[in-house]
Structure 1
Amino acid sequence: MDEREINDKEIEIEEFQDDFDEIEFSDETSVESILSDNYLNDKLNEVFAGKIVRKDLTKKIKEGANVPVYVLEYLLGMYCATTDEESIADGVKTVKSILTENFVRPDEAQKIISKLRERGSYTVIDKVAVKLNFKQDIYEAEFSNLGIKNVPISEKYASDFERLLCGGIWCIVQLEYFYDEADKNRCPFIIRKLTPVQMPNLDLSEVLKGREQFTKDEWIDVILRSVGMEPSKFSKRVKLLLLARMIPLVENNFNLCELGPRGTGKSHVYKEISPNSILVSGGQTTVANLFYNMSNKTVGLVGMWDCVAFDEVAGITFKDKDGIQIMKDYMASGSFSRGKEEKNASASMVFVGNINQNVDVLLKTSHLFDPFPEAMAYDSAFFDRMHCYIPGWEVPKYRPEFFTNDYGFITDYLSEFLRELRKSSYADAFDRFFKLGNNLNQRDVIAVRKMVSGLIKLIYPNGKYEKAEVEEILRFSLESRRRVKEQLKKIGGMEFYDVNFSYIDNESFGEEFVPVPEQGGGKLIPEGLHKPGQVYTVSRGKSGMIGVFKLEIEMVTGSGKFERTGIGSDREAKESIDTAYRYLKANSKNISGTISTATKDYLMHFQDLNGIGITNQLALSALVALCSAALHKPVISSLAIIGSISIGGSIIKVEELANVLQVCLDSGAKKVLLPITSTVDMITVPPELMGKFSLIFYQSPEDAVFKALGVE
């Protein structure tokens, strides 16, 4: 190469470098990711040729064509399964032309039939279902949008395309019309040729073999792009949450709940991705529609679909009084009884809805199932059937860049693949590596195994996985079920105490506990010393739930007035607080000679921190707060006061001690002041719970004040 040629090459390289430097990359984009995306697209085209489609093409055509996504993507897969832009453009034109000329819209059915009669032949795109007329021993077809039925069809199509016999599939059909005057009972419609535009059948071995060509991360990206998402915009954690939404599509009788902010795509998978799932909008339904119609003896939605999803859980209502009970029965066993018959079905149940407030606030004031309707909101038996609770607040609100423009599986191919996976199970996938801890009861074990099985099917459908990969899935499954159990503990108390889920390594015998992220912070009873006059007490509120209440006393120079704010007009609460003030006036010298109720005014403010309604067990905690303010001395750190006193100063025993202590723990208390009379109930408290506190017993109101203020 001479010197001039070398100079020319250097100029070309410099120009390329200048062009490359002008490319603006976002924070989440890198050269490696661009190369990786192209590599993944090329690999998909190579391994699954004809089974993939570029998702941006779907978006462009879908906007102008009222046709099911799975039909549209099948056509795009036929004509646009290439990386050549010119060929793709030609393919898009062909698809648009086919849809314009041949897709049957229900309102134009008679016009199409008229054209068929006039021309003698016509090609249509419609959903075709086939049944065997056993009286005449012939197969007959029914056209969904065209509205014609009992059309004879060759048995060859029924045997080659079995899905025609299972509810029907969309097809391109060449029809002919011949009216026979001699035989007027003969159907004039003739099927000359039928070509499915959905997957007529699925070779599962093809998918499993193709999976081996991809790494774990590549395969997850393929699955997410197949449902329209752009995985490069999500963290690993969010990817796992998005995959968890698909478990009901691959696992029989799987009950899933996802509550979170609006705009995070909670119902997208169940409405747009699979023709085998149905979204019940608004939540209103009947037992006949959902389970079994006794008048015509037909099974409802749970028998017709792989997945039944309820949108907007707050609106779930049954016109039948026994609707929720039948749903609970079905969610627990996959069967239900109507009349004299018991029916089985395999449909999974999904509940999605919105949380209208910050999760931290909701955890402090209620529970994470609070958006459910009142008939369900405190039904622990119903929520115990939930196998998984997806934290929807962790999924970012969808933006345009979250939707992919790269290649993914044709929707129909993906949905059939997912449906085929329902026939297998990987519930025992972790048994050779791990065993579950002692805190899991039978329902917990079933839930965790179902989740593990579902995620293994999605990520490792060929059954090839390593110990570390199973452990990742197991931890996520334990967390998702524990989230359910943590809320049940708030609703049902000690019955659901065992929430410390763990797993044990079969080799090292080491036990790993799995936390729930949102339970970590935001304690109602903060650590450290509070200002004088500020105390926290735990007792049962008007609603029947046990919660935390905060009392704050301000003392100023005055004439012995005592005022209360925050308790409204509740007579019992006022009497309880007045009992504390009267007791202080009568017995202040027994506590300290410096306390004055004649020359000081006391203002008490009450707060219901859990929003469960005011309590009438305030006398003792109010007395401690009054003394703390009067002596300018704060109570000891992280203290919860429980118990109360009568007008005469008698100690009142704590009811449901174990449940009260559990709320103390959940609220952040590290020390608990409780009456000596409650020692008889200590046997009802699990040893693990009792070991979480420093328990301080008091024998009299004065004793309680001294110990609360740390006075020896």
Structure 2
Amino acid sequence: MESISEGQTIDLDRKLNDVFSGRAVRKDLTKLMKEGANVPVYVLEYLLGMYAATDDEDNIQEGIQRVKKILSENFVRPDEAEKVKSRIRELGQYSVIDKITVTLNEKIDSYVAEFSNLGLKGVPISPNYVKEYDKLLAGGIWCMLKMEYFFDEEVKNSNPFSISSLKPIQMPNMDLNEVFEGRKSFTKEEWIDVLIRSTGMEPTQLEDRVKWHLLLRLVPLVENNYNMCELGPRGTGKSHVYKEISPNSILVSGGQSTVANLFYNMSSKKVGLVGMYDAVAFDEVAGITFKDKDGIQIMKDFMASGSFARGREEKAASASMVFVGNINQSLDSLIKTSHLFAPFPEAMANDSAFFDRMHYYLPGWEVPKMRPDFFTDKYGFIVDYMAEYFREMRKRSFADALDRYFRLGNNLNQRDVIAVRKTVSGLVKLLYPNGEYTRDGIEEILKYALEGRRRVKEQLKKIGGMEFYDVHFSYIDKESLSEEYVSVPEQGGGKLIPEGMGRPGHVYSVGHGDSGMIGVYKLENQVVSGSGKFEKSGVGSHRGAKESLDTAFRYFTSNSKSISGSISTKTKDYLMHISDMQGIGLTEELAIAELIGLCSGALERPVQESMVVLGNMTVGGTIAKVDEFANTLQVCVDAGAKKVLIPASSVVDFQTVPADLLIKVQPVFYSDPTDAVFKALGVG
């Protein structure tokens, strides 16, 4: 856990107040007031920003008293609406705080306002306010209003209430250049701390990685059509951001929802929540249900394309979808026995196509449970100012930010690429809104983006099997052409060969690729009922690899009975996929490894953990010696192998292997193909 000295924190407070004067507020004041007044955070902070944005303690206390007075006297509580209306009538003039929405009544050619808490409708409002604050027309804003009352008997149907002055409490309009220019005064670390403080958390109490997770929660607010899920323990603040921080996001609590409410109401011809808000968050994913049968289908369509079809027309919307929920069992048991999407409802839990649309899986178990010392008492942006900055950033895109320095590895398909680009774009908008970033800055974001999408892909692989085999995400530096692999912490380190038992039918091999380089290959075999066919994928037009694999299958069919009487080659089909894990071209040295893979799949017995198979054979079962034995062993160790299965004929080459390499792996020798199978499966 890192800590920052008090001095630096005070400097950051001072800098924030200097650069963004009137846009910052002390966050413990918000917390203090929020506990006593049921008003939105952004209303509170606007008032605090007006009356208490100073670092002089006496002035702050005076400001707080003023804010309390304003709230108690002028804030309209819905149950006191009649009392306030009466007060306006009796006094002739009175100030109120309420949310008002303006519409144009074309029949009388004038603008009229509707009050949310006061319950008044049809109150005339001057066109000047509408021109100045156009948000009044789009969903309405909270305002401080001077109301007047004058009843004229002679004018029929006139509204006695009128608005004599109006001052928005939310940011009425936003100058993004202020953020762009202001950002230049802060380092990356300082800016991250400012953003996290603005959401109410104290960054000096959090590890770096947790800070990044908290930032990622904000990405759905700055990026259009961003789909994210966060599952983790209770009490880690998963839904707080979507409920309190921005008037542009909505938290759908409780499970049941309807297509009409979320997407489009056919009878009223109105677009639902996805058209009204920037982010729609679902609390408690386990309870998500739709009254309509096609609900999940429409949601899938929307998550993939940002549009959905209802009736005769196609509607587009830019809302991000956020799914938050609890993991009730331990992470380890979830990873071993099932997959990390298991808490989703049944209708979704086995639908790999639904989860394939997730751009990021945030590991909620890495975020600590909220304690009082995690809440900040330092300065951050007024949340409404921040919400407007986020909203304005949605109109921009930095999806191509990574192209200047990097390109993505060959294991990413189109959906993976879109997901990674969206995450990169969102984080750049948060950290470098002015587009001024360095190579290192982008690399840090890119690694983080790849990890979250890989976490999605790893689960898809568990749910959907062979279709999602490419999970070894990497990026390539355009200058040095070096390739970096990105791993997921809970899957074990960044090694190509993961720790722990693999699945039956999965086997790793190391051999010489086309280029002459030595590389790691993963063979995945699946056994399904059928008629004895052998289907290969991932081989392309590589003749040597095809022949080697066919050799293995022919040996398997003719010798299976001597391996186990329970293997059936006539009533099963064998499907095989090969991954060239380092992209060096396929190898011809696959026959022994594939024979082991076929037997492992047929017997439903996994290969020994972290084992690599070396060697090749002819159709007759003659074993070939391993070329460049010492180098091959080095590649095995680098890839994470703990045991290496080696043909007995290579024993003589052991003298070429350095001692410090030998102690890192356990050699297992085999004399013939059947012996290799038994030893690999741990039965011989």
Query: TM-score scaled to structure 2, two decimals?
Result: 0.77
CA shift in 2, pair 1:269/1:698, >3 Å: farther
Match of 1:308 in 2: 280
Match of 1:377 in 2: 349
Distance 1:60 1:269 in 2: 18
Query: Where does structure 1 differ by over 3 angstroms across 4 or more consecutive aligned residues?
Result: 27-30, 525-528, 536-540, 641-648, 653-669, 691-711
* Structure 1 SS opposite 2:99: strand
Instruction: Map 1:201-600 to 2 at 5 A.
Output: 201-520=173-492
Deviation at 1:134, TM superposition (A): 2.1
> Which protein is bigger by CA-based radius of gyration?
1
Report Cα offsets for 1:542-581 as digits up to 9, x if no partner.
xxxx9xxxxxxxxxxxxxxxxxxxxxxxxxxxxxxxxxxx
Report Cα offsets for 1:391-423 as digits up to 9, x if no partner.
111111111000000000111111011001000
* Structure 2 SS opposite 1:182: coil
Deviation at 1:296, TM superposition (A): 1.1
CA shift in 2, pair 1:706/1:130, >3 Å: closer
Distance 2:348 2:191 in 1: 38
CA contact (8 A) 1:208 1:461 kept: yes
Report Cα offsets for 1:250-301 as digits up to 9, x if no partner.
0000000111111111111101101100011123201111111111111111
Distance 1:359 1:223 in 2: 29
Unaligned runs of 5+ in 2: 507-527, 530-555, 578-596, 621-634, 648-669
Deviation at 1:658, TM superposition (A): 3.4
Instruction: Map 1:137-152 to 2 at 5 A.
Output: 137-152=109-124
Deviation at 1:650, TM superposition (A): 5.8
CA shift in 2, pair 1:667/1:42, >3 Å: farther
Q: What letter corresponds to residue 122 of structure 1 in structure 2?
A: Y
1:115 aligns with 2:116: no
Deviation at 1:136, TM superposition (A): 2.1
Match of 1:670 in 2: 611
Q: What letter corresponds to residue 87 of structure 1 in structure 2?
A: N
CA shift in 2, pair 1:646/1:159, >3 Å: farther
| Backbone CA RMSD of aligned residues | 3.4
* Structure 2 SS opposite 1:221: helix
Instruction: Map 1:637-652 to 2 at 5 A.
Output: 649=565, 651-652=567-568
Report Cα offsets for 1:50-69 as digits up to 9, x if no partner.
11110010111111111111
CA contact (8 A) 1:308 1:347 kept: yes
Match of 1:94 in 2: 66
Distance 1:49 1:171 in 2: 21
CA contact (8 A) 1:263 1:397 kept: yes
CA shift in 2, pair 1:656/1:454, >3 Å: farther
Distance 1:61 1:390 in 2: 31
CA shift in 2, pair 1:702/1:482, >3 Å: closer
Distance 1:707 1:409 in 2: 60
Distance 1:263 1:299 in 2: 33
Distance 1:87 1:500 in 2: 57
Q: What letter corresponds to residue 200 of structure 2 in structure 1?
A: G
Deviation at 1:670, TM superposition (A): 2.0
Count of matched residue pairs? 567
Distance 1:98 1:191 in 2: 18
Report Cα offsets for 1:594-632 as digits up to 9, x if no partner.
xxxxxxxxxxxxxxxxxxxxx99xxxxxxxxxxxxxxxx
Q: 1:658 aligns with which of 560, 576, 592?
A: 576
Distance 2:189 2:205 in 1: 14
Q: What letter corresponds to residue 179 of structure 1 in structure 2?
A: F
Match of 1:189 in 2: 161
Q: What letter corresponds to residue 146 of structure 2 in structure 1?
A: Q
Q: What letter corresponds to residue 567 of structure 2 in structure 1?
A: I
Q: What letter corresponds to residue 491 of structure 1 in structure 2?
A: I
Deviation at 1:668, TM superposition (A): 3.6
Deviation at 1:538, TM superposition (A): 5.5
Q: What letter corresponds to residue 319 of structure 2 in structure 1?
A: A
Distance 1:706 1:239 in 2: 47
Deviation at 1:526, TM superposition (A): 11
CA shift in 2, pair 1:239/1:667, >3 Å: farther
* Structure 2 SS opposite 1:465: coil
Deviation at 1:695, TM superposition (A): 10
Deviation at 1:131, TM superposition (A): 1.4
Deviation at 1:339, TM superposition (A): 1.4
CA contact (8 A) 2:231 2:362 kept: yes
